[in-house]
Amino acid sequence: MPLILLSALNRIALAAVTLFGVAVVVFVLLRVVPGDPIAMMISPGSTPEQIAQMRANYGLDGSILSQFWIWLKAILLGDFGTSISLRRNVLELLAERLPATLELAVAALVFAVLLGGAIAIIGTLVRRTFLEPVLDTVNGTILAVPDFVWALALISVFGVFFPVFPLSGRVDPSVQNDFFTYFYLIESLLTLRLSAIVDISSHMIMPVLALGLPLAAIIARVLKEALLEAMVQDYILLAKLKGKSNLRLIMQEALRNAIGPTVALTGVQFTFLIGGTVIVERIFAYPGIGNMAIDAVINRDLPLIQGLVLVFGALFILINLGVDLLVAAFNPRLRHA
C-alpha cells in the first residue's frame, strides 16, 4: 500500500515539474523571442510614462532570470495580464470559456468510450463470423477520417441535406442569459431544465460526433484486440466450463483484464481529442478555449495565447496524471504490490 502512495506522489511531483517545463517554454517563446514583453501586460492605450513605470515595476531592467521569477510569480497568482484584442482580463476570459470546452471534450470522451466499448464487445461476440470483417472495415473507415473532415462532413449532411441540428454556437440566446455557472450543460442537468438540456445537447451533438467518432474507433480497435487476447486464455476455458455465456465471459472475465491497456491508450488519445477541440470548435463556432485560441493567434494576442497555452498544458498534464492513477487502480498487481 505505501508503495502505490509513493508512486502516486512521485507522479504528482513529476506533473508539477512538467508544468514548470511548459512554463519555461512559454516564457522563452513568447517573452524572449518576440522582444517587448511589456506589450503583454499593459492595458491598451497606456501612456509612455505608464509603460516606463510598469517596466520598472516588473523589474524588466533586471536579468532574464529575475524577469522569469517575476513572471512566474504573477502567473502563479493568476495574473495572466490583459487580452490585447478582447481588452479583458485573461483569467476571466479563460474562466468563461474553459467550461464550454470541458463539457464538450468530456461528452465526446463518454460517447467514444460507450461506442468504442460497444463495437469492441460486439466484435468479440461475432468473432470468426462473416460479421467480424464487416465491423472491422466500418471501424477502420471511421478511424481513417480525421476530426476536421468529420466535422465538415457532418455540417454538410446535417446542415444542408437533413437540417436537424444547429450549425453553430453553444446555446440558443432564447434560453441563455440566466445561468449561474459557465457549465451550462451540467447546470441544466442538475436543475432539470429540460428545454435547456435539449437545446444545449442539440448544439453539442455534431461537435461531439466529430471529436468522438475517431476516438471511438481507436478504443474499439485496441479493446477488441485485448479482449481477443484474453478470450484464448485458460481461465476463460474454465469459466466456459462453468456454463458462462459468451457475453458473460466477455463482461465478467475478459473485460477487466483488457481494460487496463485500453485506459492508458484512451488517456493519451483524450489529450489529442482536446487538441482537436481547437479546430472543431472553430468549425461549429462553439465558444470554447480552442476557438478562442485561433482568434488569439490570428490577432497575435500574446497575453491571451500565453494564458491559453498554460491552461492547455495544465489540462494535458492533469489528464496524464489521472490516467496513470486510473491504470494503477485497474491493475491488481499494482494495487496490492
Partner 1 sequence: MRKSLKAALSEPKVVLAGGFILLLLIAAVFAPWLAPKDPLEQDLMLGTLPPTGYEGTEPGYWLGTDDLGRDVLSRLIHGSRTALIVAFVAAGLAALLGTMLGLLAGWYRGWVDVVISRLVDIWMAFPPVLLSILLVAVLGSGVHSVIAAIVIIDWTRFCRVVRSETMAQAQMDYVTAAQTIGFPKARILFSEILPNVAPVIVALLSLEMGIAVIVEAILSFVGLSVSSDTPTWGGMIAQGRAIIYQGWWVLVAPLVLLFLTVLAFNQLGDGLRRALDPMMRR
Partner 2 sequence: MTEPFLSITGLSAVSDRENGAPILRDVSLRLERGEVRGLVGESGAGKSTIAKALLGILPRTVRVTGGAIRFEGQDLLTLKPKQLSDIMGSEISLIPQDPQTALNPGRRVESQLTDGLRMRRGLSRQAAHDKALKLLEEVHIRDPERVLKAYPHELSGGMRQRVLIAAAFALEPKLVVADEPTTALDVTVQKQILRLIRGMQKTHGTGMIFVTHDLGVVAQICDTVTLLYAGKVIEAGPTAQVLATPKHAYTKALLAAGPRYDRPTAGLEPVPQAIFDQLRAEMGIM
Q: Which does 240 bind (CB under 5 to 8 A by kind): partner 2, partner 1, none?
A: partner 2
Q: Does 17 bind partner 2 (CB under 8 A)?
A: no
- The residue among 25 and 114 lying less far from partner 1, judged by its C-beta, is 25
Q: Which of 87, 235, 251, 285 binds partner 2 (CB under 8 A)?
A: 235
Q: Which does 65 bind (CB under 5 to 8 A by kind): partner 1, partner 2, none?
A: none
Q: Does 127 bind partner 2 (CB under 8 A)?
A: no
- The residue among 118 and 149 lying less far from partner 1, judged by its C-beta, is 149
Q: Which residue has the cell 488569439?
A: 296
Residue 20, Cβ neighbours under 10 Å: how many?
11
**Closest separation between CB of residue 2 and partner 2, Å?**
17
**Closest separation between CB of residue 139 and partner 1, Å?**
15
Return phi, psi of residue 89, to 5°: -60, 130
Residue 147 burial (C-beta neighbours within 10 Å; 0-12, 13-18, 19+): buried
Q: Which of 12, 238, 318, 329 binds partner 2 (CB under 8 A)?
A: 238
Q: Does 239 bind partner 2 (CB under 8 A)?
A: yes
Q: Does 243 bind partner 2 (CB under 8 A)?
A: yes
Nearby residues of 299 by Cβ (< 8 Å), 6 or more positions away? 84, 85
Query: What gap in Å lies between CA 119 and CA 125, rounded to an integer?
Result: 10
Q: Does 187 bind partner 2 (CB under 8 A)?
A: no
Q: Does 2 bind partner 2 (CB under 8 A)?
A: no
Q: Which among 219, 335, 201 is positioned nearest to 268, based on CA atoms?
A: 219
Query: What gap in Å lies between CA 53 and CA 108, rounded to an integer?
Result: 48
Residue 131, Cβ neighbours under 10 Å: how many?
13
**Closest separation between CB of residue 67 and partner 1, Å?**
18
Q: Which among 156, 150, 144 is positioned nearest to 111, based on CA atoms?
A: 150
Residues lying near partner 1 in the complex (CB under 8 A) are found at 18, 21-22, 25-26, 29-30, 33-34, 144-146, 148-149, 152-153, 155-156, 159-161, 167, 271-272, 274-276, 278-279, 282-283, 293-294, 296-298, 300, 302, 305, 308-309, 312-313, 316
Q: Which does 58 bind (CB under 5 to 8 A by kind): partner 1, partner 2, none?
A: none
The greatest distance separating any two alpha carbons of the chain, rounded to the nearest whole angstrom, comes to 85
Q: Which does 241 bind (CB under 5 to 8 A by kind): partner 2, partner 1, none?
A: partner 2
Is the separation of the CB atoms in 168 and 300 below 8 Å? no
Give the x/- contact pattern for partner 2 in 249-268, rule: CB under 8 A. ---xx--xx-----------
Q: Which does 51 bind (CB under 5 to 8 A by kind): partner 1, partner 2, none?
A: none
**Closest separation between CB of residue 320 and partner 1, Å?**
9
Q: List the beta bridge partners of residue 89.
A: 82
The identity of residue 133, as a single letter, is P
Q: Does 336 bind partner 2 (CB under 8 A)?
A: yes
DSSP secondary structure letters along 66-129: HHHHHHHHHHHTT---B-TTT-SBHHHHHHHHHHHHHHHHHHHHHHHHHHHHHHHHHHHHTTTS
List the Cα angle 282/286/290 in 5-degree steps.
55
**Closest separation between CB of residue 251 and partner 2, Å?**
12
Chain residues binding partner 2 by CB under 8 A are: 128, 233-235, 237-244, 252-253, 256-257, 332-333, 336
